[in-house]
Chain A
Amino acid sequence: MKIPTSREDWKRHLHPDDIDNATQKTWDYIEGRSEEYESSFRLKHVQGTYRWILSRGKLFRDDNGNPGRFIGVHVDVTELREAEEAQARSETRFRGIFNQTFQFIGLMTVDGTLIDANRASLEAAGISPEAVLNKPFWDTVWWSHSTELQKRLQQAVRKAGQGQFDRFEATHPTPDGGTIFVDFSLKPVTDENGEVVFLIPEGRDVTDIKRFEQQLKTRTEELEQSNQELQQFAYVASHDLQEPLRTIVGFCQLLQMEYSEAIDDTGKMYIETIVDGGKRMQRLISDLLEYSRVGRTDNPREYTSLRQPVDEAMALLHSRIQENDARVTIESLPEVWIDHAQMIRVFQNLIGNAIKYHGEKDPDIRIWCRDSSDAWKIYVSDNGIGISEEFFDQVFIIFKRLHTRDAYPGTGIGLAICKRIVERHGGSMRLISDTNEGSTFELTLPKQPPA
């Protein structure tokens, strides 16, 4: 670098923005206004770029105090300055993140002294930095409300000092007297040798989550209680309803048996209609009761092959299978977590329906399964009269029937019960079918039992 030797030369090389300041500093010194001379300015390099120069010097005066010689040093501090600026930028960025995040973050020494805390954490506690910095973290207002939490924090600091991450749930008091729940963690920061040099305390406000959890818990408890009460109600109601029903049906039948000569054919038909209605109602009540009982969770689940309940359902339907010349083909079925008795009911219904709703052909029923990663899909299909697509959802509605009682008997609760049972197992059930080609039901059962 070519050092300017005269004032004019110097000024020519100076960066335009620095001229005033540099000149001022020089004259302040020469004219005695400042004791020392130190100045920073940019000088133009021969290559055309500006370099930062730190200039220091001493003025030698003669015996009369007049300025004589000036001896100085110029140091190229460009890199130093650039490094400082880069660091300042980096610090701005860091501060930006540190203070903008709404999580709580801080910085601690290995012995537990808090040396930095971000804005969010300070605001949450309603305190200024001076109140907490350079103090043991557990003595600060975030922790001092609970000796138990203080101890837990000290334990975490010890662990982190060993290089171990720790995490636990804590509470912090808020300035208005409230409390927030915080998911607190402490991370060690190690240097190149693996020594722990800093600890980073971090907190996430989980108060809302906790509140929702509590609400969910309460709601679930309420639902369970409600379910229990409903079942109890269904039980009481169904039995209380059956008694007068028996009276109606029974006494009508007594009329039929003991007064048949006194009643003409029309009268007999009327009485038969009453009896028939009464018996239907009795079946409805009985089905309703069964539907409500599906909700009971007291039966233990076991891990067994689905083949077992299928076989037992077949045994129960033995005579109907024989009468209708029904053929049932069963492929290998998987092992699942099931309530055995309820599963018998499901297959009894499905196979029973398949037999009942057969068309002109003899019933041909197939049962098979497919692996569906975390669940099993079980299929029951028949070659019966099928169900048209518009009714696919409706068949599962309780008491919904698609045919008249004369065409096909039944209360219409079978599928509703099946669906409820399958759903209580954590699964689902739906219909895939084409009219005239038969029906196929798809049951999805999870491989892992629901919690």
Chain B
Amino acid sequence: MIQNIARQILLVEDSPSDAHLAMRAFSQSTFASTVNHAKDGAEALAMLRQEGDFHECPRPDLIFLDLNMPRVNGRQVLDQLQMDPDLGLIPIVVLSTSTDEKDVLNAYRLGTSSYVVKPVDLNEFYRVIEAVQNYWFKLCALPVSQN
């Protein structure tokens, strides 16, 4: 069943300015989503596992993971999630500045579901965020957690 219901999004982004721009993009999109922002990989995993302060953190339907090359903090998140049979079901969209074939390949090897290059132009970025949500929330059927 494909409905335009409010979706939970987890944004993993360590740059405050990039996070701000992303949040604006989500708020400007036609999709009603609640975005939780994790400032780094460790926080992201805590949120996903609902540990400590995050025990009430809702399970996201989609994870946006910013891989700021070359300091790839997001890698541990991908790695850890891949190993988890339940959390590993959540689709991951990698946002990256790199168009390098190797970087793309590595991201997919590590378990991402899609790799999106971040445009510099903000209008472009808004369109990208809209298109990605359109794909995952309208076109695709998402797996439902068994927990």
Interface residues of A (CB under 8 A from B): 235-236, 239-240, 242-243, 245-247, 249-251, 253-254, 257, 278-279, 282, 286, 293
Which 3 A-B pairs give the minimum distances between C-beta atoms?
A253-B122, A247-B17, A239-B69
A239 to B17, Cβ gap below 8 A?
no
B3 within 8 A of A: no
A249 to B120, Cβ gap below 8 A?
yes
**Cα separation A253 to B28 with both chains bound (whole Å):** 14
Mark interface residues in B111-122 (1 if CB within 8 Å of A CB, else 0). Answer: 000000010111
B68 to A243, Cβ gap below 8 A?
yes
**Cα separation A246 to B70 with both chains bound (whole Å):** 16
Closest-by-CB residue of A relative to B18 is A246
B70 to A239, Cβ gap below 8 A?
yes
**Cα separation A246 to B98 with both chains bound (whole Å):** 13
Closest-by-CB residue of A relative to B28 is A257
Interface size on B, residues (CB 8 A): 19
Closest-by-CB residue of A relative to B69 is A239
- Give 6 pairs: A residue, B residue, CB < 8 Å, sorted on A: A236-B70, A247-B15, A250-B120, A251-B20, A278-B120, A286-B99
With known contacts A235-B70, A239-B70, A243-B68, A250–B122 Cβ distance under 8 A: yes
Distance in angstroms from A208 CB to nearest chain B CB is: 43
Distance in angstroms from A307 CB to nearest chain B CB is: 24
**Cα separation A251 to B121 with both chains bound (whole Å):** 10
Q: Which residues of B contact A240 (CB under 8 A)?
A: 70
Contact residues of B between 83 and 142, Cβ < 8 Å to A: 97-100, 118, 120-123, 125
Q: Which residues of B contact A243 (CB under 8 A)?
A: 15, 18, 68, 97
Q: Which residues of A contact B98 (CB under 8 A)?
A: 239
Distance in angstroms from B129 CB to nearest chain A CB is: 13
A254 to B122, Cβ gap below 8 A?
yes
Closest-by-CB residue of A relative to B21 is A250
Where chain A touches its partner, the secondary structure class is: helix
Where chain B touches its partner, the secondary structure class is: loop
B120 to A279, Cβ gap below 8 A?
yes
B55 within 8 A of A: no
Q: Which residues of B contact A236 (CB under 8 A)?
A: 70
B17 to A250, Cβ gap below 8 A?
yes
Interface residues of B (CB under 8 A from A): 15, 17-18, 20-21, 24, 68-70, 97-100, 118, 120-123, 125
A249 to B69, Cβ gap below 8 A?
no
With known contacts A251-B17, A293-B100, A246–B123 Cβ distance under 8 A: no
Distance in angstroms from A238 CB to nearest chain B CB is: 9
Distance in angstroms from A221 CB to nearest chain B CB is: 23
Distance in angstroms from A69 CB to nearest chain B CB is: 115
Choose among A247, A250, A282, A293 the residue with the greatest number of B CB atoms under 10 Å from its CB. Answer: A250
Q: B97 touches which one: A239, A249, A279 (CB < 8 A)?
A: A239
A246 to B68, Cβ gap below 8 A?
no
Closest-by-CB residue of B relative to A244 is B17
Choose among B24, B122, B123 the residue with the greatest number of A CB atoms under 10 Å from its CB. Answer: B122
**Cα separation A293 to B110 with both chains bound (whole Å):** 23
Q: Which residues of A contact B122 (CB under 8 A)?
A: 249-250, 253-254, 257
**Cα separation A293 to B70 with both chains bound (whole Å):** 15
B120 to A245, Cβ gap below 8 A?
yes
**Cα separation A293 to B100 with both chains bound (whole Å):** 9
A246 to B24, Cβ gap below 8 A?
no
Closest-by-CB residue of A relative to B97 is A242
**Cα separation A207 to B122 with both chains bound (whole Å):** 65
Distance in angstroms from A439 CB to nearest chain B CB is: 29
Q: Which residues of B contact A278 (CB under 8 A)?
A: 120
Closest-by-CB residue of A relative to B101 is A341
